[in-house]
Structure 1
Amino acid sequence: MPLLSPVPDDDGAPFWRYAARGELRVQACAAPDCGELRFPPRPCCPHCHSFDSVWRRMSGRGRIWSYVVPHPPLLPGYAEQAPYNAIVVELAEAPRIRLVGNLVTGPDAPLGSVDPERLRIGARVQVVFGPADPLDRSGTASTTVPRWVLERP
């Protein structure tokens, strides 16, 4: 059974297009006196209420803010890969922005490629991009997702 893939909406579609190019970008307000970064993407700035936005490239560096290691019972596609991790990453240049993903050993590595004992709150990570389902053998294109590797493995 394939894993769940993101379903982009109009506001978030640019995030996924940039991810497919290997770029981590975050929506920012384009109002001259604002410039606030926001995630998840949305049509209106919650700070100044402007509808103008741009997508700013991020360094891709961050730290693990939280994590969980799910165990069965899970959806069948995920149960086969358990135990694996789901982490929340606080971006280095935007600490109020946190992205959910997986800590892996490399862009194409399976979800469970990092031993759960290596997970630490505050560990420094770097974004990599890989297929949402690296084990998908169906031949269909998988959505590219941001994943995370330890800065010092």
Structure 2
Amino acid sequence: MSGPVRPVVNRDNAYFFEGTRAHELRIQRCNACGVLRHPPGPACPDCGAFDRGHVVAKGEGTVFSYVVHHAPQVPGKELPLVIALVDLDEGVRMVAEMTGPVDIGDRVAVGWNVVDDELTLPIWTKVDR
């Protein structure tokens, strides 16, 4: 089987993938008004500024919702695959691949799936409270 589907890296999200290679979960921050957003984009949704930066998130959050994907097969992944929406402690929501079963409301923490020298992806694990 081939490796995982590789994300499209562009000038709006390159900082995020540079961060994952450094084992940092980076969240886009508007330098003009301070609002955090994920997924990243070219302009602030609150004030319209194009002055972007980022903060390094703590890498912890709470499961808002999840699905268990059984089919079809996803390249580079073993099924079933758990995908969750995680509300980060910083206040943004992120789509997250989980390492095992979860329930809504579970606390989770980020870890790192080093695919190769070019790509490291966040992967999340349930943690004890």
Q: What is the TM-score normalised by the length of structure 2?
A: 0.89
How do 1:74-85 residues align onto structure 2 when only pairs under 5 Å count?
74-75=73-74, 77-78=76-77, 81-85=78-82
**Cα separation, 2, equivalents of 1:144 and 1:36:** 26
Letter in 1 for 2:87: E
1:5 aligns with 2:6: yes
1:131 aligns with 2:126: no
In structure 1, list runs of 5 or more residues that go unmatched: 105-113, 133-139
Deviations 1:123-142 (A, max 9, x none): 0011111125xxxxxxx535
1:121 aligns with 2:97: no
Q: Which has the higher helix share?
A: 1
Q: Which has the higher strand share?
A: 2
Moved over 3 A (4+): 75-78
Q: Which residue of 2 aligns with 1:109?
A: none
Question: Which one of the candidate residues 72, 83, 90 is aligned to 1:86?
Answer: 83
Contact 1:6 1:143 in 2 (8 A): no
Contact 2:21 2:118 in 1 (8 A): no
Contact 2:96 2:123 in 1 (8 A): yes
Q: Which residue of 1 aligns with 2:96?
A: 101
**Cα separation, 2, equivalents of 1:75 and 1:57:** 30
Matched length: 128
In structure 2, list runs of 5 or more residues that go unmatched: none
Bigger Rg, structure 1 or 2: 1
**Cα separation, 1, equivalents of 2:11 and 2:75:** 30
Contact 1:20 1:143 in 2 (8 A): yes
